[in-house]
């Protein structure tokens, strides 16, 4: 006997993500989900960005996702910005943040009182692309040391994101790296992708990222 189901495997996750967006629309809180490979510089970008956000009076909270350890949260927390760390270890060592773990973290931040929440997802270009966190916009960070072919290898990631931040451009003089090829590869996957090139190390062009965030704030 065959019993038809036809149910979306991610339905529960997607529904909860939509609830999060409904609430953040009401409170006019912009929720960003930042994804990348491990070591692309997500935390370093936040370290440069957070003082600028504070200086501009943008009330910000951070959600840090890691499989284990609180290393990233420890680096951020000196900045007088509320941080909630999610370790996915107790959820089975997940390689991504699902909306079911993001929701309690957002509540803990009292995100309805904030202008901006940045979720630093688990370093991984496959799984986080799949699971809607409830963020308004997805950002992918790619560093120039990773090679030009990443967008072609991880197309879903580059489809679900609206902004590519290309990091570590200060290393370009030392690398055999073809920037035009990378941007062409990104646009092949997602022709409407916005691209910002920065160096979190030297602070080069981090202001452009700040400006992008300011332009997307809901109030």
Partner 1 sequence: MHELSIAQNIAKIVHQEYLKGNFQSDIQVVHFSAGRMNAIIPESLLLNFNIVKRNYNEMKQAELIIAEKEIIIKCNVCLREYVIQEPVFYCQNCGSSNISILQGKEMYVEDFEL
Chain residues binding partner 1 by CB under 8 A are 1-10, 12-13, 92-96, 98, 124, 126-127, 130-131, 152, 154-156, 159, 188-192
Q: In angstroms, give the least distance from the CB of 1 to partner 1.
A: 5
* CA dihedral of residues 171, 71, 68, 140 (deg, nearest 10): -40
- Report phi then psi at 45, rounded to 5: -65, -45
Q: Which residues pair with 140 in a beta bridge?
A: 35, 164
CB of 170 to partner 1, least distance (A): 30
- Cβ atoms of 183 and 214 closer than 8 Å: no
Of 130 and 204, the one with the shorter C-beta distance to partner 1 is 130
Q: Distance between CA 142 and CA 117 in Å, rounded?
A: 21
Q: Are 190 and 161 in contact (CB under 8 A)?
A: yes
By beta-carbon proximity to partner 1, the closer residue of 1 and 219 is 1
Dihedral class, residue 153 (left if φ above 0, else alpha if ψ from -120 to 50, else beta): alpha
We find the least distance from the C-beta atom of residue 91 to partner 1, in angstroms, to be 9
CB of 162 to partner 1, least distance (A): 14
Query: Which lies closer to partner 1 via its Cβ, residue 96 or residue 168?
Result: 96
Task: Report the nearest approach of partner 1 to the CB of residue 19 (Å).
Answer: 18
Nearer to partner 1, 3 or 80 (CB): 3
Q: In the complex with partner 1, which residue's Cβ is closer, 81 or 186?
A: 186
Contact 139, 162 (CB under 8 A): yes
């Amino acid at each position: 006997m065959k019993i038809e189901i036809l149910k979306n495997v991610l339905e529960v996750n997607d529904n909860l993500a939509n609830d999060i967006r409904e609430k953040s629309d009401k409170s006019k809180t912009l929720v960003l989900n930042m994804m990348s490979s491990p070591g692309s510089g997500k935390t370093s970008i936040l370290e440069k960005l957070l003082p600028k956000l504070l200086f501009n009076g943008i009330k910000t909270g951070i959600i840090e996702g890691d499989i284990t350890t609180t290393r990233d949260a420890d680096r951020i927390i000196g900045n007088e910005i509320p941080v909630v760390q999610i370790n996915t270890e107790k959820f089975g060592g997940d390689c991504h943040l699902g909306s079911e773990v993001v929701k309690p973290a957002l509540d803990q931040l009292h995100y309805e009182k904030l202008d901006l929440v940045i979720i630093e997802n688990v370093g991984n270009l496959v799984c986080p692309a799949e699971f809607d966190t409830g963020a308004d916009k997805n950002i992918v960070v790619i560093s120039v040391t990773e090679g030009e072919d990443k967008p072609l290898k991880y197309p879903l990631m580059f489809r679900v994101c609206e902004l590519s931040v290309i990091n570590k451009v200060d290393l370009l003089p030392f690398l055999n790296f073809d920037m035009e090829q990378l941007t062409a590869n990104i646009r092949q996957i997602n022709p409407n992708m916005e691209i910002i090139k920065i160096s979190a190390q030297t602070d080069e062009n981090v202001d452009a990222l700040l400006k992008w965030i300011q332009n997307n704030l809901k109030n």
